[in-house]
């Protein structure tokens, strides 16, 4: 097990878990923490650095979300190599627990993999109802107006704070536009970037809802295959696409994470080809464990 002794400054505005994450990330990139090494167990690092469990867990989760590490059951948090031999995507398997009866008819599925639905048995109806009631009782007549075309400024201010805390993104409310869903947001981007008649690359398989948006806006769609660590950059480079839609932190629907070395190569592609990247970070709040009602 390696030893980690970062200098964390509690007086800084940067959260401690971001400081710890940045320290480990730089050590991995510099080779100070070699590929295959196991990071210290969470409990040990908490005691060693006098940090809370949530702080260490959040730092480790961020590293895993960006492809620097992976969590292995009964082994620990393992550092991934920056250049990794990939398993052919044909070996990826998706299993369901649907059994066939002797009559040939399928029994009821144990798990429903259809996306977009809400687990009503766990939805906090009382909390949701209380929030709605508080908003209606506030006496704020702006609730009945159209409001700012970018979205409520107060909400955008809180989102800017959240994005820094959860994802390390530095932005101001003026840079945030609140949209009613991914498809609406992508539609706006197609208009803003004048994508009509132009070639757009997208992961295959990927989110069919966004695929429909691109086609409805007159874009030519170029499917890009997947490897076990995300989008195939060789296929992307061979395309003539000027925009790519990607889900790097949790590929939809397979769930793999795009490692940092491929993220950097993706940025190099965009710079070289003068192209755009649309990153759909669709469930980061759930993965980071920071979504609370």
Whether the pTM exceeds 0.85: the reply is no
Same domain, 211 and 151: no
Closest CA to 290 of 21, 58, 18: 58
The answer to whether position 206 is within a domain reads yes
224 - beta bridge partners?
203
Same domain, 168 and 215: no
pLDDT digit of tens for each residue in the chain (293 aa)? Answer: 677 878 888 888 888 888 899 899 988 888 888 888 899 898 888 888 888 988 898 889 888 888 889 888 878 889 988 754 344 444 444 444 444 444 455 566 677 777 777 777 888 888 989 988 988 888 777 777 888 889 989 999 999 998 888 777 889 999 999 998 899 999 999 999 999 999 999 999 998 889 999 999 999 999 999 998 899 999 999 998 999 999 998 888 888 889 888 999 999 999 999 999 999 988 776 655 444 43
Return all residues near 253 (Cβ < 8 A) that are at least 6 apart: 115, 205, 206
Q: What is the DSSP secondary structure assignment for residue 259, as one 8-state letter? A: -
Same domain, 158 and 201: no
The answer to whether position 264 is within a domain reads yes
Same domain, 173 and 192: no
Backbone angles phi, psi at 279, to 5 degrees: -95, 120
Whole-number pLDDT of residue 286 = 64
Whole-number pLDDT of residue 118 = 74
* CATH code of residue 246: 3.40.640.10
Same domain, 167 and 227: no
Whole-number pLDDT of residue 236 = 95
> Is-contact 48 40, C-beta < 8 A?
yes
Domains: count for the chain: 3
Same domain, 152 and 206: no
16: left (phi over 0), alpha (psi -120 to 50) or beta: alpha
The answer to whether position 101 is within a domain reads no
> Is-contact 76 38, C-beta < 8 A?
yes
* Beta strand 220-224 pairing with 199-203: parallel
- H or E, element range at 231: strand 230-231
Whole-number pLDDT of residue 1 = 61
Burial 258-269 (b: 16+ CB within 10 A, else e): bbbbbbeebeeb
Whole-number pLDDT of residue 290 = 45
Whole-number pLDDT of residue 84 = 46
> Is-contact 285 250, C-beta < 8 A?
no
- H or E, element range at 215: helix 208-216
What is the domain range of residue 240?
Answer: 182-287
Backbone angles phi, psi at 71, to 5 degrees: -95, 125
Whole-number pLDDT of residue 266 = 94
175 HSE (CA, 13 A, CB side): 8
Place of tokens 């009782």: 137
> Is-contact 237 269, C-beta < 8 A?
yes
The answer to whether position 275 is within a domain reads yes
Same domain, 170 and 232: no
């Amino acid at each position: 097990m390696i030893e980690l002794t970062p200098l964390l400054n509690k007086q800084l505005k940067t959260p401690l878990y971001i400081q710890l994450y940045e320290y480990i990330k730089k050590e991995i990139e510099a080779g100070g923490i070699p590929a295959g090494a196991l990071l210290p167990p969470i409990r040990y690092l908490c005691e060693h650095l006098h940090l809370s469990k949530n702080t260490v867990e959040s730092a480790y989760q961020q590293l895993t979300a960006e492809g620097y590490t992976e969590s292995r059951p009964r082994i620990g948090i393992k550092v991934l190599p920056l250049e990794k031999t990939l398993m052919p995507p044909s070996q990826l398997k998706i299993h369901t627990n649907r059994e066939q009866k002797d009559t040939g008819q399928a029994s009821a599925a144990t798990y429903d993999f259809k996306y977009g639905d809400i687990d009503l048995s766990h939805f906090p109806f009382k909390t949701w109802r209380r929030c709605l009631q508080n908003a209606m009782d506030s006496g704020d007549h702006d609730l009945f107006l159209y409001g700012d075309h970018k979205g409520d400024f107060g909400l955008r201010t809180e989102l800017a704070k959240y994005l820094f805390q959860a994802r390390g993104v530095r932005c101001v409310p003026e840079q945030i536009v609140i949209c009613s869903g991914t498809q609406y947001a992508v539609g706006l981007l197609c208009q803003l970037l004048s994508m009509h008649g132009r070639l757009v690359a997208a992961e295959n398989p990927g989110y069919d809802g966004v695929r429909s948006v691109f086609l409805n806006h007159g874009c030519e769609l170029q499917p890009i295959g997947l490897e076990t660590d995300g989008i195939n950059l060789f296929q992307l480079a061979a395309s003539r696409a000027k925009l790519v839609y990607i889900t790097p932190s949790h590929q939809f629907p397979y769930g793999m994470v795009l490692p940092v070395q491929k993220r950097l190569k993706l940025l190099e592609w965009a710079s070289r080809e003068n192209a755009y990247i649309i990153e759909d970070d669709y469930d980061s709040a759930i993965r980071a464990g920071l979504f609370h009602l």
